[in-house]
Each structure stands twice: as C-alpha cells, then as structure tokens.
Amino acid sequence: MVWIPVISQITLGAFAFLPFLQHQISISRWIKKPLKYPKETPKEDLVILLPVWNEGKIIQNKLDNLARHNEIKTSLLIIDSSSDDNTVELTNEWISKNKSKFQSIELIEMEERLGKTPAVCRALNHLSKQNFEGLILMTDADATIAEGSIERMYGWFSDSTIGAVGAKAIRKRGIDSERQYRDMFETIRLGESNFDSTPFLEGSCMMWRSSGLDISQLDKFSNADDAQIATAVRVSGLKSIYDDKASFSDIAPPTIEGQRRQKIRRAQGLQNLLRRQKNNSNFRSLPKFKKIFRRQNYLHNISPFLALGAGLCALSRWVLVGISGMPTGNEAMIHASLGIVELFCLSSWLCTRQGITLPLLGKVGNILTGLEYLLIARVNSLRGISSHMWDQHTDTRDLNSSKK
C-alpha cells in the first residue's frame, strides 16, 4: 500500500522541481556570455513616467532624486491615480519651484483610482497622442535611482536591437531570506538576458522604446505591468534585458507578512501574463525567448500544483504508516529516505517563512515559499480575487520619508 503514495510522490516531485533545476543549469551556462555594452551614445528623447497614488510622504524626495539626473535632457510626466492625500498639492508646489529641472513637466490627474496598469496605459496613450517617439523611463515613487543609472540604461539604446532595459533592485532593511531571494532572482534575469531576453523586469526603474510597445498588449485588470511591458517589447521583435550595473534602492516591507503580501500580489500578475501569452503566435520567430517563456509559465503555473500533489502524497503515506504500522525491508528504507528529505524541506520552508536564513536551507526554502505564494495567488485568481489594486505598505513609506 505504501508504494502507491511513494511512486506518486516521487513522480510529482520530480515534475515539480526538475524543470527548475534544468533552468538553473541553463542559467549557469548563459551567464558566462555577457552582453557587450554599446560604445556609442544614443540621441533619443527621454520621458520619465512617474505613476503615483497617495505618495505625499515621499513625493518631493522622489522628484529631487529625479532632478539630480541631469546629464540627459528629459521631460517628466507624472500621473496621479486620484490620490486622497496631499500628493498633488506637494507635486505642484515642487513643480512651481523647479520648472527648469526638466525640458517639460506634466501632471495628469485621474478622476478615479483604477490601479497602476490603467494609469500607465493612460499616460502612454497621452504620449502617443502627442506623437512622442523616443525612450520612456518608468519609475516608482519609493525607488531612489542610483547616480549614473539612468545614463547607463540610456546608453543601451544605441544598439537598435535593444527594446527595454531594467535595473537592479537594492532592497534595504529586508530580512535575510529576502536578500537571498533577490540574488537568485537577479542571477536568473541576467542569464536570460544574455541568452535572449527576460520576460520580467523591475517596474521601479525600467526604460523602453516607445516604438517597441503596443499598448493594447497590456492587460489593465492585471498587475505586473513591468513584466507585461518587457514581454510585449520582446514580442515586437526587440530585446528586453536586465542590467545589474544600473540600480535603484527601495525599502522592502520590514515584516514577514508584508513581504508575503507583496510576493503573492506579484505572483498573480506574473501568472496572468504567462497564461495569457503562452501561445502567442509571434513566439514562432523567437525560439530562444519561447524556450524561456514556456519554462517560466511551467514554473509559475504548473509546478506549484505538482508540489502540492507531492506534499499530499507524502501526508497520505504517513497516514498509511500510522494505520498499518512501519513498513519493513525495501519499503522501510524508501520510507526513511523520503522522511529525511521531507524533514529537510519542511525545515527549509519553515525557516524561510520566519525570515531565518541558514546555509543550504536558504535556497530550498526560497523555492518552497515561492511555490506556496504562487499556489495562493492562483487560488485567489480562481476565486475571482484580483490584486491589480492594493493598499500601500505605509511602513515602507514612513521609513523612506525618514531617510536622510
């Protein structure tokens, strides 16, 4: 009787985790072939797009940060999602004192809050009506862009094959497991960029060609607008890459629960994108990117349920053992071996959920908690719960506003 859950557990576990191992092996090869940074300087116009909602605590600090990047002549477009604090007043006050910092500054005020992606689409349609043809840098109010990073990203666009570039996130005050997760995430993005393109970039600081984005490709009722843009740019025929030499800093939610909510929200947006685009006919002419995208779809939408199935099989095995007694012979050896693996996985998962990082356990724990968040996100989607509109992490805004 024990053999049935054993075989099922091993099979489901293999199908859940081996594709991740396969992708990691590929990344280890791809990362050894870095992209060459262009020597020429582009001559494209640049617009900075800043979506905001209730950012009164930090908006002027953010605008000061953007104004310091003055080596490239830029315009600034701010779109406010119907803030009900003093964001608009403080923004107008800053503009009145700093008009010379940008070639032009516009503030669009939406009548109602619809979420970040609809706000971004509204701003992009506004630029389209103005016949803007150039580069767009999107950034969040809580992201502090490092010196030289805008210029670094801008330089990539002298290569006509580059359509989008994302910067590295430096998360401050995050728990140890978050830092380990970021390292793993960034290594994957860099490897995918070297091989072809990455479908995931950080919307807190990313730049793209306006000509490389079909706005109609964006789903207004889903989040992860940054990944939507990166994927749409690649579908248009241009590359979407991650540059770890351009960076921005922000403050990670200081609590485990805050980071959990953030990751579940992000997971749902990525899952929606991957399901929607997985059969895109344009992928036929992009075999390398198709390979990356199909793998990511499997890891985000299929692996979580396979891992859940493996866990339920393990539980059923222990129930059978409890009812019929400990197995003997080969069954006992297999049961004991699986028990050791399960103890290791359970310890890794519990430690990571508590923000504890231990050698060897950390990476496995990040994978398992990631699968947990993906599973919750998918269940939320099936229940009709959307995360495209969310409450801010006010604790991070408080910490950000207190920075010197």
DSSP state of 169: E
pLDDT of residue 399: 62
Q: Which domains does the chain have, with CATH numbers?
A: 1-404 (3.90.550.10)
C-alpha 154: how far from its chain's center?
Answer: 21
256-277 and 361-382 helices cross at what angle (nearest 10)?
A: 60
Structural contact between residues 45 and 135, judged by C-beta atoms closer than 8 angstroms: yes
CB atoms within 10 A of CB 99: 10
Q: Which helix (H) or strand (E) holds 242?
A: strand 239-251
**What is the pTM (predicted TM-score) of this model?**
0.91
Residue 376's SS3 state is helix
CB-CB contact of 191 with 217 (8 Å): no
> How many residues in total does the chain contain?
404
Q: How far apart are CA 325 and CA 309, in angstroms?
A: 23
β-bridge partners, 172:
251
CA-nearest of 143, 318, 118, 312 to 219 is: 118
Given a contact cutoff of 8 angstroms between Cβ atoms, the answer to whether 153 and 207 are in contact is yes
Per-residue pLDDT of the chain (404 residues; tens, 9 = 90+): 678 889 999 999 999 999 999 999 999 999 999 999 999 989 899 999 999 999 999 999 999 999 987 678 899 999 999 999 999 999 999 999 999 999 999 999 999 998 899 999 999 999 999 999 999 999 999 999 999 999 999 999 999 999 999 999 998 866 666 777 788 889 999 999 999 999 999 999 999 999 999 999 899 888 899 999 999 999 999 999 999 999 999 988 878 888 888 899 999 999 999 999 998 888 999 999 999 999 999 999 999 999 999 999 999 999 998 888 888 888 889 989 999 999 999 999 998 888 777 777 888 898 999 999 999 999 999 999 887 766 666 666 666 666 54
